[in-house]
Amino acid sequence: MFSVSIQSPPTKPVYRRQSIRCGVLLLGLAFAALGCGKSTGKDDNGSSGEDIDLSVALFEADHLIEVNIELDPDEWDLLRTEGRSLPDVFTNCARDYEYTEFHATVTVDEDTYEDVAVRKKGFLGSLSTFRPSLKLNFGRFVEGRTHADMTRMTLNNNLTDPGNTHQCMAYELFDRAGVIASRCNFAHVVVNGVDLGIYTHVESVKKPMLRRHFKDDGGNLYEGQIADFSDNRIDLMELKTNEIENDRSDLAPVVEALKASDEDLLDALGLVIDLDAFFTFWAMEVITGHWDSYSGNRNNYLTYHDPTSDRFHFIPWGTDGSFQQLRLFNPQNTAVSVLAEAAIPNRLYGHAEGRAMYLDRLAELFALVWDEAELLAEVDRIALLTDAPAGPIATQRAFIADQGAKLIAELGLDPEDAPDWIDNPNADAELVCVELGPPISGSFNTTWGSLMTPVNVGQTLNVTINGELVVSPNLLVGAGDDSQDPDDIAQILFLSPQGGGILLGIAIRMPKAYFTTPGVYPMHGFEANAVAVRVDLFGGGAFEVIGFAGGGTITIEESSLVPGEVVRGSFEGDFVQIAPF
């Protein structure tokens, strides 16, 4: 029978990140003296062709990179407004969306480059018209050009990481556990003279990174976005290398291995994935609270088929939503010690020996990487370096204490007493492009600061749920700060009593900047949208997301951020229902 043993953290060569420990600072200073910021003109291979890897200093933990981007203002407007809408994503009608690359002049620290390719990035959660996430490619229009031995820079806008703590801290913990993970630090970004603030700078998972971890970088690299090793989701795996050949036959053996009997499962999986590495990867997604992940949501991961071992290895991605105890699409699973939505962890957790092996790995890694005092010190370091707002920093600190306590309690259970994972009945439904239902619309006339005491004067709401128009004579609407991001985000909240202690809630979330000047503003990703939820008052206030609205507009006719003053306007958009009401 296949066996698994705990991975020890690898001995780290000089190019690996050690953001919490000392030592790299001295290396960074040494490399800076050698002119690390200069373009080398070498191939994008993660090395200058000499023994010194100039990218080390670029990813130094305390190096706040200065990035200045200049491009045509009209092209900037096009760039920042590109993107999928929520209904497009949840109807599975925009998977092949491609962003436009624009020509820009880019200065990184003191080095300036003409003709750099810049484009927007993000599948959905980080989309923003104010502060778009960006990708820079120094070698797209000037062949072979690099900055600090790197062709690309990935700059994440931290829309869902307002304290700047989630991504770098998560990747560091993955790295400590021996998981292949991106290097990460921070950048201050200015575009056309407008200060966009602090971004997280994450190493792109491309061949240069693969070469640092594998003997052969010629294998297939896939990105998973709501994709999985199952019959209905395997075609959604996006091939990121060898696209011309487009030979995806290496995926099928993993799908077949998951169909093996319980007696043969571990051996079958061990032939097609690095099972030892997978248990570590899975456990670290749980420890870091990375719920919007492979194990939590079949999302935000990469997997590489290593030609040398002929096995798949998993790489974390999109960790801006980590350090949260969310189960957004499967709320009945309240335990923090397991995420098993995806095909591989789901099959393993339902397998007696696989569950025991996972829980053993989880306990060993928790003891290895979770040092509360050190984690809190890192939160404080990032807060000071990036001048992060106090609210999200306090939330991060509270999560660290809470996550540690809950994991300790749950890890003390025997495997047979460990919490079960309750399967989502729609988890493996075939994703096909479906038609949108009737649009959603409404009007509001309320006061600022009334989220907890909504009013029912002059409100309308039109939304079709379960094929029927939902109306309420007692519609309540309030406006105020978003509790998760009170500094920058506002909410308009509709509450429609449906009887039996059930409320239909429609929460319109938008930047507070919409309230500074009345006007018509676009719904865009999760930056500005509407979410429909079912609230069970008799069930302790538990709520379930039942649908999303987007692709429309929010009109602010009268607004104020002063408590008690009028907030008036309307909204309309496409609506997609994702769960029964």
Please determine, for residue 227, whether its predicted confidence score (pLDDT) is greater than 60: yes
User: What's the burial of 552, exposed, middle or buried (CB within 10 Å: 0-12/13-18/19+)?
Assistant: buried
Render the burial of 174-198: b for 16+ CB within 10 Å, e for the rest: bbbbbbbbbbbbbbbbebeeeebbb
Judged against a pLDDT cut of 60, whether residue 474 lies above it is answered with yes
Rounded to an integer, the average pLDDT of 298-313 is: 97
Please write the tens of the pLDDT for every residue from 380-391. 999 999 999 999
Query: Residues 156-161: what's their mean pLDDT?
Result: 92
CA distance 293 to 285: 7
The closest of 206, 314, 211, 308 to 254, measured between CA atoms, is 314
Which residue segment(s) compose the domain that 464 sits in? 440-577
200 and 232 both lie in a single domain: no
pLDDT exceeds 60 at position 173: yes
- Distance separating alpha carbons of residues 529 and 85, to the nearest angstrom: 9
Residue 424 in domain: no
One domain for residues 287 and 150? no
Indicate if 262 and 358 belong to the same structural domain.
yes
* Domain end (from 186, 210, 234): 210
Residues 287 and 382 in one domain: yes
Residue 11 lies in a domain: no
Q: When comparing pLDDT for 536 and 21, which is higher?
A: 536
Whether residues 227 and 200 fall in one domain: no
Token pair listed for 342: 């995806």
Residue 392 one-letter amino acid:
P
Structure tokens, 243: 């696209």
pLDDT surpasses 50 at 106: yes
Between 554 and 41, where is the model more confident? Answer: 554
Asked if residue 13 belongs to a domain, the reply is: no
CA 299 to chain CA mean position, Å: 8
Q: Which helix (H) or strand (E) holds 287?
A: helix 275-287
Q: Which residue, among 559, 488, 528, has the nearest Cα to 81 in the 3D structure?
A: 528
Query: Could you tell me if residue 6 is inside a domain?
Result: no
Last residue of a domain, one of 149, 181, 210: 210
Identify the band that residue 32 occupies on the pLDDT scale cut at 50, 70 and 90.
very low
Position 395 in a domain: yes
**Domain boundary residue among 210, 242, 277?**
210
Domain CATH for 246? 1.10.1070
Considering its fold, how many domains does the chain have in total? 3
pLDDT, position 466: 87
Per-residue tokens: 248: 């995806």
182 and 232 housed in the same domain: no
In a domain, 431, yes or no: no
Q: How many CB atoms lie within 10 A of CB 143?
A: 8
| Per-residue confidence (pLDDT) for residue 25, from 0 to 100 | 26
* Same-domain pairing of 400 and 549: no
pLDDT of residue 27: 25
The pLDDT of residue 37 is 34
Checking if the pLDDT of 9 tops 50, the result is no
- Residue type at 88 in one-letter notation: D
Kindly state whether residue 434 falls inside one of the protein's structural domains: no
Q: Which of 171, 189, 152, 149 is nearest to 17 (CA)?
A: 171
pLDDT band (50, 70, 90) for residue 473: confident
- Name the average pLDDT for the chain: 88
Residue 233 has pLDDT above 90, yes or no: yes
Q: What is the pLDDT of residue 35?
A: 32
**pTM for the complete prediction?**
0.82
Residue 96 has pLDDT above 80, yes or no: no
pLDDT at 18 exceeding the cut of 50: no
485 alpha-carbon distance from chain centroid: 17
Q: Mark whether 245 and 348 lie in a shared domain.
A: yes
How confident is the model over 235-260, as pLDDT tens digits? 999 999 999 999 999 999 999 999 99
Assess whether pLDDT exceeds 80 at residue 138: yes
CB 197 within 8 A of CB 386: no
Mean pLDDT to the nearest integer, 394-419 = 94
Q: What is the pLDDT of residues 267-298, one digit of tens each?
A: 999 999 999 999 999 999 999 999 999 999 99
Question: CA-to-CA distance for 152 and 202, rounded, in angstroms?
Answer: 10
Q: What is the pLDDT of residues 316-371, one digit of tens each?
A: 999 999 999 988 778 889 999 999 999 999 999 999 999 999 999 999 999 999 99
Look at residue 245 and tell me if it is in a domain.
yes
Q: Is the pLDDT of residue 46 over 60?
A: no
Lowest mean pLDDT among 82-91, 348-357, 414-423: 82-91
Q: What sign has the CA pseudo-torsion 451, 452, 456, 461? A: positive
Instruction: Return the top range by mean pLDDT from 357-366, 472-481, 491-500.
Output: 357-366
Q: Check residue 5 and give its pLDDT.
A: 42
Same domain, yes or no, for 137 and 51?
Answer: yes
Same domain, 413 and 452: no
Q: Which two tokens stand for residue 430?
A: 């075939």
223-240 in b/e burial notation, b at 16+ Cβ within 10 A?
bbbbbbbbeebbebbeee
Most confident of 15-19, 65-69, 497-501: 65-69
Other Cβ atoms closer than 10 A to 261: 7
* Cα distance between residue 226 and residue 578, in whole Å: 14
- Tokens representing 18? 């050690």
Same domain? 253 vs 359: yes
Q: Looking at per-residue confidence, does 562 or 31 come out higher?
A: 562
Read off the pLDDT of each residue in 15-37 and give the average, rounded to a whole number.
Answer: 29
How many percent of the chain have pLDDT more than 90? 72
At residue 50 the predicted structure's pLDDT band, cuts being 50, 70 and 90, is low
The three-state (H, E, C) secondary structure of 150-184, written as one string: ECEEEEECCCCCCCCCHHHHHHHHHHHCCCCCCCE
Nearest to 441 by CA among 421, 472, 463, 425: 463
Q: How much is the average pLDDT of 531-553?
A: 88
Same domain, 55 and 189: yes
